[in-house]
Amino acid sequence: MSTTKTLTEARALLSSGGSVVGATEQALAAAEAQQYLNAFLELFPETALEQAARVDAKLKAGDAGPLAGLVLSIKDNICYKDHKVSAASRILEGFTSLYSATVVERLLAADAVILGRTNCDEFAMGSSNENSAFGNVKNPVDPTKVPGGSSGGAAASVAASIVHAALGSDTGGSIRQPASFTGTVGFKPTYGRVSRYGLIAFASSLDQIGPFAHTVDDTAAVYSAMAGQDPKDSTTSSRPVEPISLEHPRKLRIGYYREGLERPGMDPEVVAHLQAHIDRLKAEGHTVEPIDVPLLDHQVPTYYILATAEASSNLARFDGIRFGHRSKVAQGVDETYRLSRSEGFGPEVKRRILLGTFVLSAGYYDAYYAQAQRVRRIIRDHTLAAFERFDLILSPTCPGTAFGHGAITDPITMYLQDIFTVQANLAGTPAISLPTGTHSNGLPFGIQLTGAPFAEAKLLAASKVLFGC
Ligand code: GLN
């Protein structure tokens, strides 16, 4: 373990004579000592220590940025110039980024140190980190369990206290679900609040980059340093980023999903925990009322039609010609495409490309893709309408706790892991998983708070003040 868990502790260490170089060396040692987790695909000792030395010099000169002292990991689908990036896929093995993602540039400019790139499901497709071409990630709380996915390495790197914070990406829950499984805070901002420039695309209309940390304070610090309009991503919003003040004295109106308490298949302890929070919030004088999830049983199918359709288009660029792996045995152009893709992509990615191509094909487009777009619009409208009545919506993050490696083999069962998380992506709202629960099986679990679009400040303040995270 590194000696500090949070940025606040790291700053305290710096003011009592510690250095960022020292903290970085310790983080590197902690990563080496916990290699069995398989959380990191690569450490960046050279550039991390160079950056740390720069930050130490700036601290001495008194002009260090807001993240001075923070050591951070990035998911292996975020580009960092002159560093390898693979999306945990054989098809990009050995590929080096030609430029840095905007989030990387902004975090470095704020004086964070980037320790390395973390393992994940291939192209961020999965809920257990069992789809990586480079092996499973172990859950630091219980290594026999998965850490969740797709940002499993990111979550594990924070849960094991190797780094203070991690960047993940969330297309249907890939930050919040692993946060729930590992006992960390995981935050997906509003679609368009954080630049996706330099994020290897999975499903562009759903993808968002966001942070993991031990505390809401650190989550807010990392989020604030990277949020805001980016001329390189035309889907980012021009709205000014609200300053985050982690105090919120006012009484709130909170909706909670009835289905989160009543749905079959829910772990009874997760339900009881949610109910206890509902009772407590009422007792504290907040208005807490049940609401129905819009089209709950249609959310996961809608998500998987749209996500796979977009993925099949985004992944067309990996063809053995322009990027990454090229088949050594292929002869001619057609065979080069076919074999390079067959050899380079893993089974889950292939399944999704097939499904996505099918739902976009001329004969089925109207029945699947166009229909899913309409359902998405209804889900979004219902979600936004709920925020006319409520400040926040409370739900479980996941139906249960982390499961064993290999325990879920059926893709449909795996996809249902996302039942409470895909709504925020379909509707574009911000949502956070807070580590509030510990199950009698010893594993952590989270609850999810969702806010209206661009209500990050309110969401983060409530997370800290109402849930003490
Ligand atoms: N588990 C979901 C999926 O497999 C979400 C992935 C993600 O958010 N990147 O698609």
Q: What is the mean pLDDT of the chain?
A: 95
* Size of the chain, expressed as the number of residues it contains: 469
pLDDT above 90: percentage of residues in the chain: 90
Atom of ligand 1 nearest to the CA of 170: 8
Atom of ligand 1 nearest to the CA of 149: 1
The string of DSSP codes covering 296-308 is HHHHHHHHHHHHH
How is residue 285 written in tokens? 């004088």
Where are the chain's structural domains? Answer: 7-226
For domain 7-226, give the fold: Amidase signature (AS) enzymes (3.90.1300)
Q: Quote the ligand 1 centre to 19 CA distance (angstroms).
A: 38
Q: Which of 78, 121, 188, 348 to mutate to test the pocket of ligand 1 (most atoms within 8 A of CB)?
A: 121
What does pTM read for this prediction?
A: 0.97
220 phi and psi angles, rounded to 5 deg: -65, -40
Distances (CA, A) of 203 to 81, 106, 156, 385, 426: 23, 23, 24, 25, 11
pLDDT of residue 1: 47
Q: What residues does ligand 1 touch, defined as CB less than 6 Å away?
A: 124-127, 150, 169-174, 202, 307, 418
Amino acid identity of 137? V
**Do 215 and 244 contact (CB within 8 A), yes or no?**
no
pLDDT of residue 412: 82
10-20 pLDDT per residue, tens? 999 999 999 99
Q: Within the chain, which residues score under 70 in pLDDT?
A: 1-2, 248-249
Q: Which of 121, 174, 209 to mutate to test the pocket of ligand 1 (most atoms within 8 A of CB)?
A: 174
Distances (CA, A) of 297 to 147, 304, 345, 419, 423: 25, 12, 30, 8, 11
Would you name the residues annotated as active-site residues?
75, 150, 174
On the CB side of 247, CA atoms within 13 Å amount to 1
pLDDT of residue 460: 96
Atom of ligand 1 nearest to the CA of 174: 8
